[in-house]
Amino acid sequence: MISPEFLAMLRCPLDTTVPVRLEVPEEGRDMPALVCTRCETRYLIHDGIPNMLPEDAVLPPGCPNLDRLPCRQRPRS
Ligand SMILES: [Zn+2]
């Protein structure tokens, strides 16, 4: 599984200043995921390996596409 040290290094790929949190479902029905603490996008963890590709991520409810996410809208220098 993902170590706390590794988790602390991970950032939302859409905004690399924003940390993610680990979310593990209680019932085991959903896959564990890394969830962006700002845009709430869920990056699913397959067999202990997080898929941080925005194209594969689960968007938060009500968000139609990646370009509407707060992390993508804020321009970074
Ligand atoms: Zn984000």
Please give the order of strands across the beta sheet that includes 42-46.
Answer: 11-12, 15-23, 33-36, 42-46, 49-50
Residue 77 has pLDDT above 90, yes or no: no
pLDDT at site 30: 77
pLDDT level of residue 58 (50, 70, 90 thresholds): very high
Q: Which residues, chain by chain, have CB under 5 Å from ion ligand 1?
A: 12, 14, 36, 38-39, 71
**Residue ranges of the domains in the chain?**
4-73
Quote the ligand 1 centre to 38 CA distance (angstroms): 5
Give the Å distance between the CA of 43 and the centre of ligand 1.
10
Q: Token digits for 21? A: 């949190």
pLDDT score at 40 = 96
pTM of the model: 0.87
The DSSP H or E segment spanning 12 is strand 11-12
15 pLDDT higher than 90: yes
